[in-house]
Amino acid sequence: MNRVILLLLTALAPISWGTTYLVTTELLPAGHPLLAGLLRSLPAGLIALAIGRTPPSGGWWLKSLALGILNIGAFFPLLFLAAERLPGGVAAAVAGVQPLIILGMGALVLRDLIRPATAAAAAIGAGGVALVVLGPAAELDTIGIIAALGGVTATALGMILTKRWGRPSGVGPVAYAGWQLTAGGLFLLPLTLVFEGFPPASDGGAALGYIWLGTVGGLLAYTLWFSGIQRLPVIAPGLLALLSPVVATILGVVVAEERFSAVQAIGLALVLVALVGGQTAALARPRHRIERPDRSLVAAER
């Protein structure tokens, strides 16, 4: 598949995630972040397993559990908790630092060299997101900030390990996404029952919100996302994550009739520059790794 087409398909995932803030605040019952994460992951995961018909095998049981907890089980409830305790703009601004976290983790775990162009794109993108979503009246809640940082750090590590471990041969992207969604959902199930109890009575709006987050924001988005992570340089989808807060802001303007200022327009332009420049730098050349000494040569020298 052409890399540009793959990049565009991968971008659909953070675009769909940009609807999470609006759906959470407008449709879902407040005070149930674990339930929201559970209903977004477990049903979609079971459907994906039924479609893929390929269960994990061998060491992939533990790997799927680890990835499912990082990408789904920890990320989802922290995301919903941040969305409930912070204005959408503040939560999105915190999420904007994720490309910088991915760069650092990529250097430590994948041994990827940090190129100045991609580092600059990540920093410009984070600054652009801040201009887009933060306003002078932005309220900071300590628990909300910690939840947002914890969520983006967990999913950043999940992205790095997804890239490092790859996908077993013969396993399709739907089944692979199903492993993680199911593992994350099963991780959340007992926590939800213990800390939030049985689900509250939901109206049609809440049901619609859960269905949207589970299908488009869950099954479809993560199938495209994991496929993109495995076939692109890891910073490429990392930078695409900047689309999520931008979409959230645009929806706030269009749906919630929020004002869009000149400062926000500058921030949006910076994000677009970061996206185009960062993707060009990430895809133009093969990835380089930090060189490790050849152990056989070292032994021979001794």
Q: What is the pLDDT of residues 9-56, one digit of tens each?
A: 999 999 998 898 789 888 998 888 889 899 999 999 999 999 999 999
Name the residue with higher pLDDT: 33 or 68.
Answer: 68
Q: Within 10 A of 257 (CB to CB), how many other CB atoms are there? A: 7
Q: How many domains does the chain have?
A: 1
The pLDDT tens digits of the residues spanning 205-247 come to 999 999 999 999 999 999 999 999 999 998 899 999 888 878 8
- For residue 128, the enclosing domain spans 3-301
Residue 148 confidence (pLDDT): 85
| Distance from C-alpha of 66 to C-alpha of 31, rounded to nearest angstrom | 26
Residue 155 confidence (pLDDT): 93
Mark 2-23 as b/e (b = at least 16 C-beta within 10 Å): eeeebbeebbbbbbbbbbbbbb
- Which range of 173-182, 237-246, 269-278 scores highest in mean pLDDT? It is 173-182
In whole numbers, what is the pLDDT of the chain averaged over residues?
85
Note whether 35 and 192 are within 8 A (CB): yes
Note whether 243 and 15 are within 8 A (CB): yes
Q: Which structure tokens are listed for 41? A: 């992951």
Name the residue with higher pLDDT: 295 or 232.
Answer: 232
